[in-house]
């Protein structure tokens, strides 16, 4: 039986996407590349899915190793059986150090491309990138843009950009589709998420305050977009777009086409948490804040990590994202990105009900 080869399981997006693939590809299996340390987690996640567990196979390997950490026979057999590749695996951690980010996000992508090039009847190489490849680009970032002289705030951004460059360089040789999700948050129906980071830092700040909450931000954050998208939109969109012929050779921004500003997002979260008043005060000059945090970084691990991640950037992040390709090719599918205010309360409800969820990324 032919197989779809998937990386990024049992990660946040991969765990949801695999169900869509099994539903659509009823005559194939899905083979997941998993690190040995996540083998038990992957098996437990597969058993919990609303899908045919017997059609999910695992190979233990490593993106950072030659032949993906597989022996030559297993590698060749997998290439012979594979019809499509979905490469989701990455280190998603804004504070990641350079070398592990490079090994996974860049060299891992290079190895997956090499694997795909050896698949005789490859239908498609699906690559999950991210909107942060825009870096510090100031203006409207379209789906056909990539190398625009932008700078990057952390090694996550720069290595994901470098990984997508590798993929785009092979688009004349391989059938490729690229997806750039916005900042993923929990499911819009259930609120479920695997970690509290990014937007959830605002939730935690609001949770520590009473009925009147005050959130200070940097100058410029009042007009900057904060582009978050729920997990179900991302995986529904990938599940649909990956199954149509028109998506070959395309890049899709799976982002909110009409996102809230940073101030609007915080105010919406305040409403969802039952605050009577939420004041967002852009009163802090970024230069002063950076100087203070740089000083604190010498004595505070939290401040050091925040600075290393370029955390302040996202308060007034300059790019906005054109989603024309995604909107046009999803037309008629019933799949569209919901407005943040429609599911903010669901995210908050999950957060309040599940304090055990942490902020750690999978490594």
CA-wise closest residue to 85 among 116, 109, 61: 116
Is residue 58 within 8 A of residue 34, CB to CB? The reply is yes
Task: With cut-offs at 50, 70 and 90, classify the pLDDT of residue 183.
Answer: very high
Give me the half-sphere count of Cα atoms (radius 13 Å) on the Cβ side of residue 178: 27
- The DSSP code sequence of 243-303 is TSGGGTT-EEEES-SSPPBHHHHHHHHHHHTT-SEEEEEEEE-HHHHHHHHHHHTTT-HHH
- Residue recorded with tokens 């700078």: 151
pLDDT of residue 311: 46
Is residue 255 within 8 A of residue 180, CB to CB? The reply is yes
pLDDT per residue as tens digits for the range 156-179 = 999 999 999 999 999 999 999 999
Judge whether residue 216 has pLDDT over 80.
Answer: no
Judge whether residue 90 has pLDDT over 60.
Answer: yes
pLDDT of residue 298: 47
Is residue 21 within 8 A of residue 4, CB to CB? The reply is yes
Buried b (16+ CB within 10 A) or exposed e, 55-67: bbebbbbbbeeeb
pLDDT per residue as tens digits for the range 317-328 = 899 999 999 999
Classify domain 3-186+227-258+320-339 at the CATH class level: alpha beta
Judge whether residue 269 has pLDDT over 80.
Answer: yes
- The DSSP code sequence of 303-346 is HHHHHHTTGGGGGS--EEE--HHHHHHHTTTT--PPPHHHHHHH
CA 158 → CA 90, 97, 162, 232, 302, distances in Å?
A: 13, 11, 6, 26, 22
pTM: 0.92
CA-wise closest residue to 201 among 217, 212, 187: 217
Q: In terms of pLDDT, which residue wins out, 231 or 219?
A: 231
pLDDT of residue 131: 97
Q: How far apart are CA 232 and CA 191, in angstroms?
A: 10
pLDDT per residue as tens digits for the range 125-142 = 999 999 999 999 999 999
Is residue 242 within 8 A of residue 177, CB to CB? The reply is yes
3-state secondary structure of 343: helix
- The interaxial angle of helices 340-353 and 262-272, nearest 10 deg, is 50
- The first and second tokens of residue 278, run together, are 């939420």
* Count of C-beta atoms within a 10 Å radius of residue 297: 16
The residue ranges of every structural domain in the chain are: 3-186+227-258+320-339
Q: What is the mean pLDDT of residues 253-275?
A: 95
Q: What is the mean pLDDT of residues 77-94?
A: 95
3-state secondary structure of 326: helix
pLDDT of residue 54: 85
Task: With cut-offs at 50, 70 and 90, classify the pLDDT of residue 204.
Answer: confident
What letter would DSSP give residue 339?
P
Q: How far apart are CA 72 and CA 143, in angstroms?
A: 37
Peptide bond into 45 cis (omega under 30): no
């Amino acid at each position: 039986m032919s197989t779809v080869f998937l990386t990024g399981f049992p990660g946040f997006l991969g765990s949801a996407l695999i169900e869509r693939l099994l539903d659509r590809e009823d005559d194939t299996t899905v083979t997941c590349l998993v690190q040995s340390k996540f083998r038990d987690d992957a098996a437990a996640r597969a058993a919990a899915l609303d899908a045919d567990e017997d059609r999910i196979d695992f190979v233990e390997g490593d993106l950072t190793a030659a032949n993906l950490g597989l022996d030559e026979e297993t590698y060749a057999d997998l290439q012979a059986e594979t019809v499509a590749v979905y490469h989701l695996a990455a280190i998603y951690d804004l504070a990641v150090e350079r070398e592990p980010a490079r090994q996974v996000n860049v060299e891992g992508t290079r190895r997956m491309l090499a694997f795909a090039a050896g698949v005789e009847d490859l239908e498609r190489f699906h690559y999950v990138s991210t909107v942060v490849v825009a870096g510090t680009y100031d203006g409207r970032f379209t789906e056909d843009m990539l190398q625009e002289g932008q700078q990057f705030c952390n090694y996550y951004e720069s290595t994901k950009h470098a990984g997508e460059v590798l993929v785009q360089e092979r688009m004349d040789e391989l059938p490729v589709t690229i997806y750039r999700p916005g900042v993923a948050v929990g499911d819009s129906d259930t609120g479920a998420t695997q970690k509290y980071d990014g937007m959830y830092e605002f939730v935690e700040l609001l949770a520590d305050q009473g009925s009147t909450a005050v959130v200070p931000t940097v100058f410029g954050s009042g007009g900057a977009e904060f582009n978050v998208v729920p997990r179900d939109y991302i995986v529904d969109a990938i599940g649909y777009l990956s199954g149509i012929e028109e998506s070959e050779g395309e890049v899709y921004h799976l982002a909110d086409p009409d996102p809230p500003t940073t101030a609007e997002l915080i105010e919406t979260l305040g409403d969802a948490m039952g605050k009577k008043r939420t004041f967002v005060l852009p009163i802090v000059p970024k230069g002063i804040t950076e100087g203070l945090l740089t000083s604190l970084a010498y004595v505070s691990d939290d401040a050091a990590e925040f600075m290393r991640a370029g955390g302040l950037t996202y308060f007034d992040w300059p790019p906005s994202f054109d989603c024309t390709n995604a909107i046009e090719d999803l037309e008629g599918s019933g799949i569209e990105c919901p407005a943040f205010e429609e599911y903010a309360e669901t995210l908050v409800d999950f957060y309040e009900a599940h304090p055990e969820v942490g902020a750690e990324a999978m490594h």
